[in-house]
Amino acid sequence: MNVSTVFRALRSSRLFKTMLPLAAIAAMVSTTVRAESVELLGLNLSGAGFAPQVLPGVNGTNYIFPVESYFQQWSAKGIKLVRFPIIWERLQPTLGGALDPTYIALIDRTFGYAQKYNVKVILDLHNYARYRGQIIGTSSVPYAKYQDVMTKITQRWSGQSSLYAYDIMNEPHDALAYWPTAAQYGINGVRAVDKTRPIFIEGNGWAEATRWAQWNDPLLKLTDPANNLIFEAHTYFDDGAGGNYTGVDVGTLSATYGVERVKPFVEWLKKNGKKGYIGEFGVPDNDARWNTIMDNMLAYLRDNCIPSTYWAAGPGWGDYFLSVEPINGVERPQWPTLKKYINNTRCTTFGPL
């Protein structure tokens, strides 16, 4: 629906007859238009989160922030949504302390590139529910310190027009007693500043889609005054769902195996009336049958209006077998399948529908 259509609908409604101020009408139009632009396929533009064990590390040596050309090339290919992993310890070297000026300047630059090329960014704190190896909620990392960093992140970047959402923690694991409480503190930290943007909530068990319901019913108790929580699962098609694909024979898998892997998560969402997103998935580049499995999964997600971001693209991947980053200008085998699902007109909201 375009702006003129919205205005025609409003003009024929009781809103105009009750003399609703033009500013309020404009705000409603803006909200409606934004709601009808869900990007169904994006990429993880990784690099800034490399070598988290090397702290603080040096950009270009231990980790790699994307330069402008990365946003330029992917935007030209139709990618308008990226999930962007960052590392808590680099961002905030002292728990509860100030944000590191070097790292925040690089993140500032990234948002600038994204804005220039009309790309929206999901900012991902890529820390597995830990700070320096210690679980959030333990005595070493009190919940309040996690809320503190989420508030500081939001204070710093909520004014960026290219910021789409907050992914408040990547792949919590072995934290069943802690993560549901921590997640609420993370939500509170964001909402202290940003009252509207989506907050993505990943689940225990490395956010795995297939076994999502086994660990993550406690997340149903989370509250958000904006009612804008999106639950985020990850899926890979190897036994451990970690993306290493060691010893996996694709010839033994059905063409619908990818659907089978994400369906338990989608059914959980439907059962509980929640919205969802697949934040990571990826397939090897060495056998076309993987692309068929991925194709069927993406069609299933599309039909349910569940967006997804592929793992991964960005600088520094080289010939990594899941990467979709071109090598010497040559497209990777996964790309023809992925680009079929670039679409921001099909869905007006996050599904499932």
Residues 115 and 17 both lie in one domain: no
**Mean pLDDT across the stretch 147-161?**
98
Residues 24 and 91 both lie in one domain: no
Question: For residue 230, what is the DSSP state?
Answer: E
Best CA proximity match to 91, nearest among 52, 129, 144, 45: 52
**Catalytic residue (one of 39, 89, 208, 280):** 280
Residues 164 and 48 both lie in one domain: yes
Residue 251 above 70 pLDDT?
yes
Residues 307 and 222 both lie in one domain: yes
Residues 1 and 131 both lie in one domain: no
Instruction: Report the CATH number at residue 148.
Output: 3.20.20.80
pLDDT of residue 18: 36
Residue 232 catalytic? no
Best CA proximity match to 88, nearest among 78, 99, 77: 99
**Mean pLDDT across the stretch 307-324?**
95
Distance from chain centroid for Cα 11: 37
Residue 68 catalytic? no
Residue 5 above 50 pLDDT?
no
Residues 26 and 169 both lie in one domain: no
3-state secondary structure (DSSP) of residue 130: strand
Residues 6 and 81 both lie in one domain: no
Residues 73 and 95 both lie in one domain: yes
Contact 110, 121 (CB under 8 A): yes
Residues 63 and 19 both lie in one domain: no
Give per-residue pLDDT as tens, 39-93. Answer: 999 999 999 999 999 999 999 999 999 999 999 999 999 999 999 999 999 999 9
Q: 62-98 burial string, b = 16+ CB within 10 Å, else e? A: ebbbbeeebbeebbebebbbbbbbbbbbbbbeebeee
At 20, is the pLDDT very low, low, confident or very high (cuts 50, 70, 90)? very low
Phi, psi of 322 (to 5 degrees): -95, -10
pLDDT of residue 238: 84
Number of domains into which the chain is organized = 2
Diameter of the chain by CA atoms? 67
The strand pair at 120-125 and 81-86 is best described as parallel
Residues 126 and 95 both lie in one domain: yes
Give per-residue pLDDT as tens, 82-94. Answer: 999 999 999 999 9
pLDDT of residue 309: 98
Please say whether the dihedral angle defined by the alpha carbons of residues 87, 201, 39 and 10, taken in this order, is positive or negative. negative
Give domain status of residue 96, yes or no. yes
pTM of the model: 0.89
Residues 4 and 64 both lie in one domain: no
Domain containing 21 equals 1-36
Give domain status of residue 198, yes or no. yes
**Catalytic residue (one of 171, 202, 208, 232):** 171
Residues 196 and 281 both lie in one domain: yes
The strand pair at 308-313 and 41-45 is best described as parallel
Give domain status of residue 206, yes or no. yes
